[in-house]
Amino acid sequence: MVIINKLVINNLKDTLIAFLTNAKSAGCCRITVAYSGGIDSHVLLSQLHLLNKSNDAIALDAIYINHNLQPLAAEWGLHCETVCHSLDIPFKQINVQARPEKGESPEEKARDARYAAFESEMQSNHWLLTAQHQEDQAETLLLQLLRGSGAAGLAAMPFRRKLGKGEHVRPLLDISKAEIEKFASQQNLSWVEDPTNLDQSIARNYLRKSIFPVLKVKWSETARMLSRSANWLAEASTMMTEIAEEDLQACYHDKQSLNIHALNKFSAVRQKNILRHWFHKKGLKRPGQEKLGILFDQIINAREDASPELNWQGVTLRRYQNRLYVLGKICEIDSDWQMSWDLKSPLELPTGWASLNSCEVIGKGLDKRLTSENLVVKIRKGGETCHPSERSHSRSLKKLFQEYSIPPWQRDRWPLIYLGEQLVAVPGLFICKGFEARSTEKGVEFVLSIVG
């Protein structure tokens, strides 16, 4: 894959010429402009239309998102459709419901709804372009500073990121608002004005209307300098992420948990970096300093025989035998559940917490001759005993789970494989004595894949 890097060119036309050249090299076959009808996205769409005319031009279209928040939203959508029709650019309007619930940020709610709609449209080698510019980047950095954000937040808006099956690119991040306004004037463009951009109760608008004009009196290059700092911080954040990923690999106990002993070998700063990265990979917000402090005090630094837990962001953080787990909601499973299994395809277990698969092996696993009739998968009811093939005597399944270090919350949902009424295998742990394949015989090995 060809990597497209952010090009620092301050001229709008040259920036987009270089962008289109690199987009083709990177395999982009379709560009969608997020078109609001405002000056910034109108200029982006118009300039791309003028430049993207060669025989190997990239397919270009536009999408307008109607958030259903403004009385004029439908009228703005009609304006966008008219402009696209005049340019012979395919156009689509998507309606979303972005009205915030009590306590929700209106801006965040609208942004999440907007990008969810865009993501649903993305295909492979398909890029979404948005028109954020240099001043937008400077405002984002200052807002993040005022919120006390960490390195990832201070990196502000990335030039390029994954979005669904495609990519989201912001090609104008080094272009000033003045350059955009100059092009709009030269091309006689008409655009819509969102009245909420004048509302200074919105933090970004307050910075734009009241703070930046004052800063520019003393520092005329305020936006450019802050945008440059955001670029440096983005590089630092990328380096921190790469270090965190390398460190994280050294801390995994398995796919579901971290080894706390391994985590403690790193410095306190790197431990925090590892945990923030791990949570982010799991789709959670990166925890701030206060939440990390609670996590270390109550979970990581708890005594070794403790099993503490901490609820956060709809998940539960738990420690068990020096392993750290992040668990989603654990749903109850009917203890009478059972399912016949012919081994031809993977079997998903109740509530989707894990899946069961099988593969043919030699000299180990369950004797393959026993699979001529369907096996039955059940879950633990309590009171079961079994004799692992590698052990000299039988034990209760409860004791065996403890000895195999199975976390308590997994024991009552762990799959058990029966032949008739006889327990013959506990997947992922052992085959019961008398049912294992001999050294030269064909066997079936069971693979338990836990989600998380």
> In whole angstroms, what is the distance from residue 4 CA to residue 98 CA?
33
Tell me, yes or no, whether 25 lies in a domain. Answer: yes
Report how many helices (DSSP H) and strands (DSSP E) the chain contains, helices first.
15, 22
Q: What is the pLDDT of residue 332?
A: 82
Q: How many separate domains does the chain show?
A: 3
Distance of CA 197 to the CA centre of its chain: 30
Domain end marker among 327, 361, 377: 327
Q: Are residues 170 and 33 in the same domain?
A: yes
**pLDDT exceeds 80 at position 391:** yes
Distance of CA 306 to the CA centre of its chain: 32
- For 112-121, what is the mean pLDDT? 95
Tell me, yes or no, whether 172 lies in a domain. Answer: yes
> In whole angstroms, what is the distance from residue 326 CA to residue 140 CA?
31
Q: Which residues contact 73 (CB under 8 A, 6 or more apart)?
A: 66, 67
Lowest mean pLDDT among 11-20, 98-107, 110-119: 98-107
Residue 345 pairs with which residues in a beta bridge? none
Mean pLDDT across the chain, nearest whole number?
Answer: 92
- For 110-118, what is the mean pLDDT? 94
Tell me, yes or no, whether 229 lies in a domain. Answer: no
Q: What is the pLDDT of residue 3?
A: 42
CA 367 to each of CA 361, 377, 419, 424: distance values in angstroms, whole numbers, following the listed order: 10, 17, 12, 10
Q: Are residues 91 and 174 in the same domain?
A: yes
Q: What is the pLDDT of residues 246-300, one digit of tens each?
A: 999 999 998 889 999 999 999 999 999 999 999 999 989 899 899 999 999 999 9
Q: Are residues 303 and 391 in the same domain?
A: no
**pLDDT exceeds 80 at position 452:** no
CATH number of the domain encompassing residue 286? 1.20.59.20
Residue 418 pairs with which residues in a beta bridge? 376, 423
User: Which residue has 């948990």 as its token pair?
Assistant: 257
> In whole angstroms, what is the distance from residue 347 CA to residue 294 CA?
39
Tell me, yes or no, whether 2 lies in a domain. Answer: no
> In whole angstroms, what is the distance from residue 352 CA to residue 147 CA?
38
pTM comes to: 0.79
CB atoms within 10 A of CB 8: 11
Which structural domain range is residue 268 located in? 255-327
